[in-house]
Amino acid sequence: MSSLTTGSAIVIGSRRSRLGPLIKSGGAGSVYLLADDPHSVAKIYHARVDPPSYTDRIEAMLQLRPKLPDQYESGKRYVQIAWPDASVRDEQGRFVGFTMPALDVQSTNEVEQILQERQARAAGLPVGLGHKVTLAANLASVLAALHAQHHYVVDLKPVNLRFYRASLYIALLDCDGFSIQGRGGRFHAPQFTPDYLAPEYQIRALDEAGEETQDRFALAVVIFQLLNFGIHPYSGRPAYDRVPTDVPGRIRERCYAYSQRGNPMMAPNPVSGHALMPRGLRDLFDRAFGEEPARRPSSAEWSETLRAYAQPSRGLIVICDRNREHQHYAGEPCAACVRHDLLNATARKAASRPRPAPRAAAAIATARAQPQTLGWWRTAAPPQPASTAQPRLRVARPQPPPQWNPYYAPPQVPAAPAPSRSGWRARLPGRVRALAALAAPLAFGWLMQHAQGYYASLRAAAATPLDRWTNSILLTFLGMAFIAVCYVFLVAIPRRLSRS
């Protein structure tokens, strides 16, 4: 089967039409405008992906459409979901794709772009908490309508979600890649992202019964990032070396650091604003990232809770008195201001540290970068720069209090200064070394002379076998004493003299 292009004839349901200009092309298919319908577009599958394999999936989507009608505000149309409207066939009657509502991509942005304040400002997007709460509430509402028909996104993550800048409505694209519930069975989602995969599916395959709990987990991760400056709920400061360094590994080990009870394996990010969230929101996050998947909040529960915060008339989110661009939860300090103060203090502290002179630093870098020549036939790699960090000391620490506190640290006891040595005491070691150096050889010779005479007298006095046996024992002890005396004068005394 030849691939269709611009100008090719197609059949939409029972209506004939032609493909217009190409909008974009992806891995599974290409999207074209329609010559006779400016409000719809056609997605034509590539021949290499076997379009007939999508026939039953698209038919199931046409039968169980989620209740997400287009929104109209001030005469502008907002498409909430690019769901199939009709199947598309070629002139020979073969299935080639489907039509869907035309979405104004130019007026939308990825949710990923609004998570970080610096990135949001660069894209001209709002940075206030109220806007992000509204966006989170809209996302939960769209998923609730999708879940009502038992369809699931599975690969739910910020980069796959788009929103309208003017209205903050969510727009779901690439819906044919979702897990679709059909009349006779389910069409599973082909892919997922490990950073947004639930803990139980980090160790075993995702099954049909767990797709909704997977969506609930991923939704909670995205909402947490929206409400907490883009911080992933499984990022933070590890308390032990055995804590995984990658996000999927931390999800697998359940290293959620922002629980109200704390986590002994992970401390929160220092600039996180989770502690300034209302109790109700923190309870939802604790359930979402807790031990029991069945207790994770549904998308409908998230929608109902966040909708209350998104309504200005409720007064649950107020404008910051210090910075009019900031909003915060009523009765709580402004988390954005606290975060900025901490970042600015860290920057000032880093700027106040003394730095090496430019010439000296350049000379050191040049010297370290020079390779060591081992011969004209081979050259050694330049040595790695030495670490400037202080060595990590392994010291015994007192036990922390019963309620684990990530900021707990034992009091540091200053070491007592060493007493200074001056006057005659400072000069004494040198004199003692000189006298000992002269006296040690003389004493050693005097002892050896007497030991030799005693040894000769014992051998001469042996008259009977019993005397010889007794003398042998005495001579053995005399030999041992000789070895000890040699060690004292030849090893111990010189070592002591060198240290004094």
DSSP character string of 227-294: HTTT--TT-SEESSTTS-SSHHHHHHTT--TT-TT--TTEEPPTT--GGGS-HHHHHHHHHHTSS-GG
What per-residue confidence (pLDDT) applies to 17? 95
pLDDT in tens, 110-119: 999 999 989 9
Stretch among 30-34, 294-298, 466-470 having the lowest mean pLDDT: 466-470
Residue 403 is given by DSSP the state S
Highest-scoring range by mean pLDDT, 170-179, 468-477, 491-500: 170-179
Task: Tell me the pTM.
Answer: 0.70
Cα distance between residue 216 and residue 224, in whole Å: 12
Provide mean pLDDT across the span 304-318. 94
Cα distance between residue 483 and residue 488, in whole Å: 9
Closest to 470 measured CA to CA, from 481, 459, 480, 479:
459
pLDDT in tens, 394-406: 333 333 333 333 3
Stretch among 67-81, 406-420, 430-444 having the lowest mean pLDDT: 406-420
pLDDT band of residue 108 (cuts 50, 70, 90) is: very high
Helix 129-148 × helix 299-310 angle, to 10°: 150
Q: Is residue 462 packed enough to be buried (19+ CB in 10 Å), middle (13-18) or exposed (0-12)?
A: middle
- At 330, list the tokens: 């009523």
Provide mean pLDDT across the span 189-208. 92
Helix (H) or strand (E) segment spanning residue 299:
helix 299-310
